[in-house]
């Protein structure tokens, strides 16, 4: 096992896993923060809205964190979410915000 742990590809895989774990944790924390802010700003969010927000990228969550300061109703939130670009069809060098 020691030889395996010293191999370059093992270390690369380990580093990728750690990086993905940090990114996932960052996304979960950002979603939790935005959901708390929205709960204070708006009335109770539907489970569907909560799930949609949890599925956003960190970049979209950061943008939503700023945009929600101007929201007065959940309709504005729904409109904001509906106007998000489709990240899956965006080109890699295209800004998704």
Is residue 60 within 8 Å of 30, Cβ to Cβ? Answer: no
pTM beyond 0.75? no
| pLDDT given for residue 94 in this prediction | 36
Domain residues for 61?
2-88
- Give the whole-angstrom CA distance, residue 88 versus residue 61: 16
Q: What is the pLDDT of residue 1?
A: 55
In a domain? residue 44: yes
Question: What was the pLDDT predicted at 80?
Answer: 96
Q: Does 49 reside within a domain?
A: yes
Decide: 45 and 74 in contact? Cβ < 8 Å: yes
Q: What's the number of domains the chain is made of? A: 1
Q: Say whether pLDDT at 87 is over 60.
A: no
In-domain check, residue 97? no
Going by C-alpha positions, the residue among 96, 16, 91, 19 that lies closest to residue 56 is 96
What's the confidence (pLDDT) of residue 25? 80
Q: In 10 A of CB 34, how many CB atoms?
A: 21
Question: Does residue 39 fall inside a structural domain?
Answer: yes
């Amino acid at each position: 096992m020691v030889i395996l742990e010293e191999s370059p590809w093992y270390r690369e895989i380990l580093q990728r896993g750690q990086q993905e774990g940090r990114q996932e944790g960052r996304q979960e924390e950002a979603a939790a923060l935005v959901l708390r802010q929205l709960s204070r700003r708006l009335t109770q969010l539907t489970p569907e809205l909560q799930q949609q927000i949890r599925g956003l990228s960190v970049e979209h969550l950061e943008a939503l964190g700023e945009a929600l300061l101007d929201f007065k109703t959940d309709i504005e939130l729904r409109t904001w979410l509906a106007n998000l670009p489709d990240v899956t069809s965006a080109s890699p060098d295209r800004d998704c915000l």
